[in-house]
Chain A
Amino acid sequence: MRAIPLGKPSAIAIAAISLIGIFSFLWPFVAPADSFLVVNSTETPLLFALIIPLLLVTVISQISDGGLDAKAIALLGALAAVIAVLRPLGAGLGGIEPIWVILILAGRALGPGFGFLLGSISLLASAMFTGGVGPWLPFQMLAAAWVGLGAGLLPKASGKRELMVLSTYAAIACIAFGFIMNLWFWPFSTNLPEQIAFSPGANAGENLLAWIRFSLTTSLGFDLPRAALTVILIALIGSPVLQLLRRASRKAAFDAPTEFIEVH
């Protein structure tokens, strides 16, 4: 079931913003030492924090132009609210939030387009609700959108196999999210100890190693529990939540045929 149809233009737009997003995360490894981005490495994250949201809204407006009916909007809003309510629950635990299970299952049940929008909109909505708008938000929105999109693109499976596929994906996605989110501010933090610091001008391999060390020593402590929690929740309630979501999408009748018959 696909609640939000993605036409070719929308798919291309998502691919393009994703590429730009990848650059915005990975520039510390690819940009040469004397490039503009590296020389001004403390401003670069802010530059991307400006570019990404502007492009992201262009993409969203393109997707919504293609077909965001009231049902899709209401479902998006409802699930974004669920995520916004769940997020503060994890705030005291350093981001070990039970939100990923909803995002991943919704992406799975309602399709990649819905997953992409839910990822970005839910983080925006929860940031507005709890007052958490900051330069980190565009990166979070994009990364969460990828998580939702990916869940929608997983291969067909059902029953236990489906839950296995989803758990595996969830584990990978949760850890990857943490690692990727380290990247946007990593070059921004000057004065870090040498082994885990971004060194402008070092080659990609050295920086990559430094980043992995940084992630392993800093965020892994949060990423692993987050992944574990998500996997446990999928095992526990994955199947009923999927059934609820599919029931909702059936009730919303996204693709029920409408026919007018002439009277003879």
Chain B
Amino acid sequence: MICFEQVTFRYSEDGPTVLRDLNLEIPAGELVLLLGATGSGKTTFLRAINGLVPHFTGGHLTGNISVNGRSTRVNHPRELADLVGFVPQDPVSGFVTDLVEDELAYSMECLGIDPPVMRRRVEEILDLLGLTELRNRPLHTLSGGQQQRVAIGSVLTAQPEVLVLDEPTSALDPGAAEEVLAALHRLVHDLGVTVVLAEHRLERVMQYCDSILLLENGSVQSGSPSELMQTSSIAPPVIHLGRLAGWDPLPISIRDARRVAPPLRALLANHSPRIQAVPTHSPRIAEIRKVQCAFGKKIVLRGVDLDLDAGEITALMGRNGAGKSTLLRTLVGLKDQTKGTIHINGVDPHTLSAKDLLRHVGFVPQEPHDLFESLSVAAECKSSDTDAGCPPGTTRALLALMAPDVQDGTHPRDLSEGQQMLLALCLIVAAKPPLLLLDEPTRGLDYPTKKKLGEVLRGLATSGHSILLATHDVELVAELATRVVIMGDGEIVANGPTQSVVTGSPMFAPQVSKVLAPDHWITVEQIAQALNRELA
């Protein structure tokens, strides 16, 4: 269906080679997962399929790419719209209209499809993706998962044979990601659509895919998941576990892994997992007592009690709308509580001026670029020194420590997502707030960047910060958090050491724990330590 013949690509004549001599063919009806670290050329590869590269971006392309026999050389992306559907990473930015139905019809209007046919196809897609209830809703009132499904539906109405998706689930919570992946699965199985998708959250998509393309430095390897995963540096925890245990063939899904796990469990029976050291007798940073919060008549927080100590990394989990974001916003004084008290180092954050607030509590938003105002990294760091009242150069030095490869002159929005997150963290940490809040810090980050962020956060905790992070990323929580707080319907429903909270929950258990349940193992590292073996 999709055919790359000796494809080499550069954005500018003297620039680096992004794709190098690619030769591959993707058969019709497959769900193909594209893997690669940040900067490996994934984005370019996806956009080359429908000709956005080079028609839209400019650049120099050698060789030939064709889809169903139609070459991108002579066909612009718009002429391939009825053949290749492209869903960008951020669905909201790709919306042209503001209502669900209009958005679904937009591609067809462009292609000049007859109104009666349009009407029928919109109804079909509404049913297929479960959007019927939402047909008249303004797009910006939808949840992330719903928006992603509308984005997929809006290209499907043109009835393409190929669907290309750039990280369709990395910004979603587990439930919404399930909805989207289930919809994709149905498309592949019922309609025979060929799907190519890039995704960082391998633990979610690995089990659905038929084959994998692994991009490294512009070159590609392709093969079945169990083949390629033997050696890939990018892999979900279940693969790492399988490699550690020496399972062959390598199990890809939790279910397969559980089947071959009994010997490993027997081996581990005499060991117990080493638990992250929880600091004792460390100073209390924040006291939250009986906090209640409401939007109009709707109560979002009902009597939340929580203590946060120095040196702790506390994970705040729960489904969307459970009150996680509201709790964080109340803690930084963006939202007033209707009842209850909050004390951070003895002070109520609502009484603090903007300048003093930063010295008590820092907040890193889920879109780090919301914090950026300057035109270069250097200027951003400089203004942060002024904000934080610390000696000139402090923020820049901090950034050099966390992300050594960031250049001074780069526009902050041109950094990779991981670098943006680290820069935002530096801007906030420069003022040394004892309490540090992070909202979904690992959205859209690949494994190496996540690992890096984890190290940085652990370092901050050791130096005496108390860190509270709201997240859906169970693997991150398993590796990083000392304590887990689970919220449901505005209340705290569980609060305790990570080990005991996450292993007991079907929703928040990491892959390792699912494979080895009911034993209390949560990370591959713990097992490796127990078995005294090096991580593969």
Contacts and interface: CB of A to CB of B under 8 A. Distances in A.
Interface stretch (B52-60, B175-183, B196-204, B495-503): B52-60
Interface residues of B, number: 19
Interface in B53-94: 54-64, 73, 78
B411 interface: yes
Contacts of B78: 70
Given A240-B375, A243-B375, A258 B62 contact: no
B207 interface: no
B54 A258 contact: yes
A244 B58 contact: no
Contacts, number: 38
Contacts of A216: none
Contacts of B62: 260-263
A93 to B, nearest CB: 26
Given A240-B375, A247-B411, A261 B60 contact: yes
A244 B375 contact: yes
A19 interface: no
Given A240-B375, A243-B375, A244-B375, A256 B411 contact: no
Interface in B426-478: none
A259 interface: yes
Nearest to A255: B58
Given A247-B411, A263-B6, A256 B59 contact: yes
A253 B411 contact: no
Nearest to A258: B54
Contacts of B73: 260
A257 interface: yes
Interface string B152-171: 00000000000000000000
Contacts of B60: 257, 259, 261
Given A247-B411, A263-B6, A257 B58 contact: yes
Interface string B382-422: 00000000000000000000000000000100000000000
Contact of B58 (A240, A258, A260): A258
A258 B12 CA distance: 9
Contacts of B56: 71, 253
A253 B64 CA distance: 22
B375 A263 contact: no
Main SS at interface, chain A? mixed
A259 B11 CA distance: 10
Contacts of B54: 258-260
Given A240-B375, A244-B375, A247-B411, A261 B58 contact: no
Contacts of B59: 256, 258-259
Contacts of A263: 5-6, 62-64
Max count, chain A CB within 10 A of own CB: residue among B11, B54, B78 = B54
Contacts of B5: 263
A114 to B, nearest CB: 18
A74 B20 CA distance: 32
A81 to B, nearest CB: 12
B63 A259 contact: no
Nearest to A259: B60
Contact of A259 (B57, B61, B375): B61
Contacts of B411: 247
B416 to A, nearest CB: 15
Contacts of A243: 375
Interface string A226-251: 00000000000000100110010000
A262 to B, nearest CB: 8
Contacts of A260: 54, 61-62, 73
Contacts of B6: 263
Nearest to A247: B411
B58 A256 contact: yes
Nearest to B6: A263
Interface string A187-217: 0000000000000000000000000000000
A253 B58 contact: yes
Interface in B22-38: none
A251 B127 CA distance: 38
B309 to A, nearest CB: 42
A56 B191 CA distance: 47
Contacts of B64: 263
A262 B8 CA distance: 11
A224 B409 CA distance: 39
12 contacts: A70-B78, A243-B375, A253-B57, A256-B59, A258-B58, A259-B59, A261-B60, A261-B62, A261-B63, A263-B5, A263-B62, A263-B63
- Pairs of residues from A and B, 6 with the lowest C-beta to C-beta distance, nearest first: A256-B58, A261-B62, A253-B58, A259-B60, A258-B54, A263-B6
